[in-house]
Amino acid sequence: MKLNTNLILGAALVGGGAYYAYTKGWFGKKKETPSEAIKQNQDVIDKVAAEQAAAAKKVATAAAVKKAVTAASTIVNANSYKGKVAYIQSDLGVAVDGVAGNQTNMAYNAKYGLDKGNISESNVDYYQSKVKQGLTLAKQKQVAKQTNGVAIVNALKNGGSIRFIKTINAQNFVLNKATNSYSAIGTNLLFNSGAVLSSSWRAIDRGAGFVLIYKLGANTLQQVPVNSIVVV
């Protein structure tokens, strides 16, 4: 028995992965050649593959964004709140989890003093700065004893240095020779926490918890509170 030629060709195409071409009706009307149909079938496959790749990329991008957002608020980010708490916890020797709970606050209070209340987002920078500067309760007591106008004047005069433990936006003063007094001139000079002034500076004790400091050769002097300075 002679097999139907169309059936044989159709079976061959199905076996070769070209069922799409067969269903287009080539074997009846001969409107398309097998190569044209295969190309069209491949175009469909390519389109589906491109759509799947785009969808996968979108999912991967969303996952990456979510991971970045999560990391930004965890202890792996030193600039996040939890990262700063973790820094403090490492110094205190307590569990490092970025959570300022009772254990962390009690340990901090015992070592540095919670003078601004429990650790929170509003004061964590202040508390972290105390850790970085090593301003333990013992050091703070020492600073309170040694830091006064006379100590600052003598330190700079004798070749020593002073360091700011607070950021101060100090008023500028000039000497009024007519009255032999110092007058504010309406401008300021910023001294950042941690700034060190050496023997190229001098100081004048004004009493009442303030000193006037000035750089040798300058015409202006800056008034700062003595409790913002430590002799080093």
- Outline where DSSP puts E strands in 31-128: none
Kindly report the pTM of this predicted structure: 0.42
**Other CB atoms closer than 10 Å to residue 146's CB: what's the count?**
12
Task: Provide DSSP, 114-153.
Answer: -BTBS--TTTHHHHHHHHHHT--HHHHHHHHHH-SHHHHH
Higher pLDDT, 11 or 70: 70
User: Do residues 169 and 222 touch, judged by C-beta distance below 8 A?
Assistant: no
User: What pLDDT shows up at residue 12?
Assistant: 46
d(CA 183, CA 188): 13
For 130-159, write each residue's pLDDT tens digit.
999 888 988 887 766 667 899 899 989 988
pLDDT value at 15 more than 80: no
Mode of pairing for the β-strands spanning 229-231 and 162-164: antiparallel
Instruction: State the average pLDDT over residues 52-58.
Output: 78
- What is the predicted pLDDT for the residue at 121? 93
Q: What is the mean pLDDT of the chain?
A: 81
